[in-house]
Chains A and B, each alone.
Chain A
């Protein structure tokens, strides 16, 4: 990231181009491609959420699945139980849930660094996952709950765009929101405070800023984006399941962000896209597609070895790699 000005016009322009391209791509893709890309776009919002925590705050969290899942269940359960306000209200419920969980997660990580942050976040999200399993009358456990079609956003917009279409463009809208948030954050005073926080939080305190407050704000942005992803997933695919709160789901965005690169405005999407396409290509094989994904990841690891930015990025993580 050194040498690249944070205020360069390049990244916003590039981001605009990517978003426009994605919108236009809709007309060119077959139905299958549209479905795949829609799913990737929704999940990449989660990738952005993690990236904010990882890149901007320098926090390595192993518990982001809790944020995704709370958004998913907040929105899903609301859509299931309450007809008031429709999908927008459900979305708000999802965002509120993920905000609450991210505040809890953050309060715990205020006192931890590096590996200890990793465990603390891991523990909390595992606890949430187990609680979800335990209360499976409410959550549906691992099997999950399928929402009635009327509750999904896709159904509501179907008349206008068709099912695949509405999913695609809702996903794209969400992705745009994520990219915009990150762009604005980078260029705002808050963004600069967060960078200073990552660089030298004691020095920041000596200038009169409350590190806990800003860590909380930063982490909340991360949590809201992750929750947005979960909420949109529930509302467009009409499904929620406890599996999304598990450890494997916390590791996913780490992979996406590491694979995607250092450009916080676009890399989370790129990483998610790459891994998503890899998984999809692999699943074309009837058997052992997960095996291929595994091997593919090893190959990606070799590819990323060459990139200097990787070590620089990881060097910025608090307490890790020192």
Chain B
């Protein structure tokens, strides 16, 4: 018997003013696994992330977390159920220091959590720096630190490698690979990066999932080529 996946997206569609951003997308993420979403710009990846995180309401379809329907739940409730997200442009609290940002995210989880998370993301030396003075890359890492500090069951990462240096990307990779029992929905357009760290990959184009499988599978590679090449012509 197959265990209920952590996250299930069932035939989700979304239209914005008549433009179909998502068309009947279905997928699942298991606890402890990373599902990578690849696709060219405009494929609907960020919209999907938004719907799972709770920022956007789908036009139709369902989202289930641990078997429970969360489609209509507001962002705050999703946070309480263990969903944490990062955004394409990192969102952090600029008036607060790095430490304070992580503290807020950690809530009642205590001092150790903060130190642990800061270490993982190499932010220890910056703990007392104001978030507004951080570089783009460090802001991204901070946002990720905040997501981790909330002890999530499901992480939704939207283009987490964008703007990161090679070293920072490496750190990002090791953090994600080092997660235990957390489901990760990883959205990125860098195929090599996603293929390296995902257990499975969904290829999206024009709002649809055109292939789903292991990163190096034939079908997946072919789909990627189709999606990206078509974008280039």
* Cβ-defined partner of B75 (8 Å) among A2, A192, A196, A205: A205
Pick the contact of A196: B53, B54, B93, B133 (CB < 8 A): B93
Contact with A along B94-117 (1 / 0, CB 8 A): 111000110111010000000000
B178 at the interface (CB under 8 A from A): no
CA distance A192 to B91 in the complex (A): 16
B93 touches A209 (CB 8 A): no
Cβ of B80 within 8 Å of any chain A Cβ, yes or no, is yes
**Are A196 and B104 interface neighbours, CB within 8 A?**
yes
CA distance A44 to B59 in the complex (A): 52
Q: With a CB–CB cut-off of 8 A, which chain A residues contact B212?
A: none
Q: State whether the Cβ of A200 lies closer than 8 Å to any Cβ in chain B.
A: yes
Interface centre among B74, B80, B94 (most CB of A within 10 A): B94
- Using A2-B132, A206-B53, A208-B80 as known contacts, say yes or no to A195 and B75 having CB atoms under 8 A apart: no
Q: How far is the CA of A199 from the CA of B95 in the complex (A)?
A: 7
> Chain B residues near A208 (CB, 8 Å)?
76, 79-80, 107, 150
State A189–B103 Cα separation when bound (angstroms).
9
Partner of A192, one of B54, B80, B96: B96
Against B, the Cβ 8 Å flags (1 = close, 0 = not) of A199-217 are 1101111111111000000
Q: Is B93 in contact with A200, judged by CB distance below 8 angstroms?
A: yes
Q: Is the CB of A207 within 8 A of B130?
A: no
CB pair B104–A210 under 8 Å, yes or no, is no
Contact: A210 with B76, CB < 8 Å?
yes
Contact between A207 and B95 (Cβ–Cβ < 8 Å)? no
Q: Is the CB of B76 within 8 A of A195?
A: no
State which of B74, B93, B133 has its C-beta within 8 Å of the C-beta of A203.
B93
Do the beta carbons of A205 and B76 come within 8 Å of each other?
Answer: yes
Q: Is the CB of A195 within 8 A of B91?
A: no
**Residue numbers in A under 8 Å from B75 (CB-CB):** 202, 205-206
Q: Kindly list chain B residues whose C-beta atoms are within 8 Å of the C-beta of A200.
A: 91-93
- The number of chain A residues touching the other chain, given as a range, is 20 to 34
How long is the Cα–Cα vector from A205 to B146 in the complex, in angstroms? 13
Judge whether A207 and B96 touch: CB under 8 Å: no
- A1, A204, A210: which has the most chain B beta carbons within 10 Å? A204
**Cα separation A68 to B85 with both chains bound (whole Å):** 42
Return the chain A residue nearest B82 by Cβ: A208
* Smallest CB separation, A302 vs chain B (Å): 29
Residue A193 is within 8 A (CB to CB) of chain B in the complex: yes
C-alpha spacing A185/B126, complex, angstroms: 24
Nearest-neighbor residue (CB-CB) of B106 within chain A = A207
Interchain CA distance A196-B103 in the complex, whole Å: 12
Find out whether the CB atom of B100 lies under 8 angstroms from the CB atom of A192. yes
What is the CA–CA distance of A192 and B130 in the complex, to the nearest angstrom?
13
Q: How far, in angstroms, from A1 to B78 measured CA to CA in the complex? A: 34
Q: Which residues of A contact B105 (CB under 8 A)?
A: 207
Q: With the chains together, A205 CA to B77 CA distance in Å?
A: 9
**What 3 A-B pairs are tightest by C-beta distance, nearest first?**
A208-B79, A196-B93, A195-B95
Can you report 26 residue pairs joining A to B where beta carbons are below 8 Å apart?
A1-B95, A189-B103, A193-B104, A195-B96, A196-B93, A196-B95, A196-B96, A196-B101, A198-B95, A199-B94, A199-B96, A200-B91, A200-B92, A200-B93, A202-B55, A203-B91, A203-B92, A204-B93, A205-B74, A206-B53, A206-B79, A206-B85, A207-B79, A207-B107, A208-B79, A208-B80
Known: A192-B96, A205-B79. 15 other contacts (CB 8 A): A2-B133, A195-B96, A196-B104, A198-B95, A200-B92, A202-B55, A203-B91, A205-B76, A206-B78, A207-B79, A207-B104, A207-B107, A208-B76, A208-B80, A209-B104
